[in-house]
Amino acid sequence: MACCHYFAPSEGGDEAFSIDASTITFGPGVLREAGDHAASMGIKRAALMTDKVMAGLEHLAVVKAALEGAGIDVVVYDEVRVEPTDESFMAATRFAQEGKFDGFISVGGGSVMDTTKAANLYSTYPAEFLTYVNPPIGGGQPVPGPLKPHIACPSTCGTGSECTGIAVFDLLAMRAKTGIVSRRLRPSMALVDPVCTHTLPKNVVAASAFDVLSHALESYTAVAYTRRKAPARPSLRPMSQGANPWSDLGCREALRVLGENLVRGVNDPVDTEAKGQLIWAATLAGIAFGNAGCHAPHGMSYSVSGMVRDFQPDGYPKAEAIVPHGMSVIVNSPAVFRFTAEACPERHLEAARWLGADIRGATARDAGEVLAGHLIQFMKSTDMPNGIGGVGYNRDDIPGLTEGSFPQRRLLDNAPRSIGKEELTKLYQDALAYW
Ligand SMILES: [Fe+2]
């Protein structure tokens, strides 16, 4: 294995890693299997969760018909907010409580799946909202027991949420993104149907594909699990346990698939083969980051999306300003990989090579620039925003962005180099513009 010394033992470091396998069915047309799978899990009355856009599309109708065909009583909730908030999580929870459901089916992107995880959690184990939210913002209490069955049907080119126990939202009072993390939030099953990607708007494909790309890069370059402090008890080993041989497998193949298909899948509206490959890469990267954890590009993204003023990309609802999750991540990524390359240059060079970069003659000192340069090429050729300046921020915003992201220790501490306020400030400065 390349880089095996990356997992060399360290004083006080963990000596084991855990694998939480996701249950996934992948293939064209698998949405039609939803009814049979739900019935086999014992679901008799299902909450079918989606958003207003998906509610009018055929994919939702296919799933609803499949559930009803299996004799399941179905109630649709189409009020999920794109980029959800604590308020929208609680609105979905009220629906879930009042409906007395015994199972959940989500059809949509990361926002829909995350909202469903939260509605399942709070309707099953009611509590003050901040009880389960990540510290230091929330109490970080463990989820008390198993949740009700949840079948996740991702409809974008993938956030990977179908494979993870993470639900992310904007906490309105703090204007910051944070999340709830627990293995118990992981959907019972994912039905990944590449047909869902065929008709997505260009920017929606791009934002989710760049999210996936960063999941794979962050998981591969995360601190080694052997360099993270061993947990006080084995059962407390976090899902964000750092890079490990299992997550490496998913990252490598996701990066290779993305290198071949990302630009094609985003730019060519009729290249359904490439779009189908992007959702496969999303699944692979989801398996990886669900077992390794992301790091600084995601940590920094929370304030980039939370403090948005007036950015309104094509392909998204125009009612309010929004930096879609994948865009809020990728605008930070080149700056971060320039910074983290020093910690594990071979991993940065390997990642660039799988993405299709020519790394002949590149040395360890070039690693950050080679990977960042390749990412920037991808961003330019798919009309992504040019750094955080491209989504409306300037130098005066950097103190606020830094303050907003600094509490994201789960993510920042998973980076291979330590990141304090000074480093975070420099990373945002470098991310202002790339070209
Ligand atoms: Fe993400």
Between the CA of 271 and the centroid of ligand 1 the distance, in Å, is: 24
pTM, whole model, 2 decimals?
0.92
Between the CA of 306 and the centroid of ligand 1 the distance, in Å, is: 14
pLDDT in the model for residue 157 = 77
pLDDT at 6 over 70: yes
| Residue 20 near residue 183 (C-beta atoms within 8 A) | yes
Between the CA of 39 and the centroid of ligand 1 the distance, in Å, is: 31
What pLDDT band is residue 160 in, cutting at 50, 70 and 90?
confident
Between the CA of 284 and the centroid of ligand 1 the distance, in Å, is: 13
As a whole number of angstroms, the distance between CA 264 and CA 36 comes to: 35
Between the CA of 419 and the centroid of ligand 1 the distance, in Å, is: 19
Same fold, 24-197 and 201-430: no
SS3 content of the chain, % helix, strand, coil (to 5): 55, 10, 35
Domain residue ranges of the chain, discontinuous segments joined by +: 24-197, 201-430
pLDDT in the model for residue 2 = 46
Q: Is the peptide bond before 136 cis (omega within 30 degrees of 0)?
A: yes
Q: How many CB atoms lie within 10 A of CB 417?
A: 16
Q: How many CB atoms lie within 10 A of CB 89?
A: 25
What pLDDT band is residue 150 in, cutting at 50, 70 and 90?
very high
Percent of the chain with pLDDT over 70: 99
Between the CA of 224 and the centroid of ligand 1 the distance, in Å, is: 20
| Residue 105 near residue 48 (C-beta atoms within 8 A) | yes
pLDDT tens-digit profile of 233-270?
988 898 899 999 999 999 999 999 999 999 999 999 99
Between the CA of 211 and the centroid of ligand 1 the distance, in Å, is: 5
pLDDT tens-digit profile of 298-325?
999 989 988 999 999 988 877 789 999 9
Percent of the chain with pLDDT over 90: 85
As a whole number of angstroms, the distance between CA 68 and CA 154 comes to: 20
**Is 201-430 a domain of CATH 2.60.40.1220?**
no
**Is 24-197 a domain of CATH 3.40.50.1970?**
yes
Record the tokens describing residue 388, joined without a space: 């955080």
The helix-helix angle for 272-292 and 202-221 (nearest 10°) equals 40
Between the CA of 326 and the centroid of ligand 1 the distance, in Å, is: 6
pLDDT in the model for residue 255 = 98
pLDDT tens-digit profile of 31-68?
999 999 999 999 999 999 999 989 999 999 999 999 99
Between the CA of 361 and the centroid of ligand 1 the distance, in Å, is: 32
pLDDT at 3 over 80: no
pLDDT at 368 over 70: yes
Higher pLDDT: 38 or 2? It is 38
Query: Which string of b and e fits 345-364 if b means at least 16 CB within 10 Å?
Result: bebbbbbbbbbbbebeebee
Between the CA of 335 and the centroid of ligand 1 the distance, in Å, is: 17
Between the CA of 169 and the centroid of ligand 1 the distance, in Å, is: 12
As a whole number of angstroms, the distance between CA 108 and CA 117 comes to: 13
What pLDDT band is residue 4 in, cutting at 50, 70 and 90?
low
Between the CA of 212 and the centroid of ligand 1 the distance, in Å, is: 7
pLDDT tens-digit profile of 208-217?
999 999 999 9
Record the tokens describing residue 354, joined without a space: 């799988």
As a whole number of angstroms, the distance between CA 231 and CA 251 comes to: 25
Between the CA of 300 and the centroid of ligand 1 the distance, in Å, is: 11
pLDDT tens-digit profile of 129-142?
999 999 888 999 99
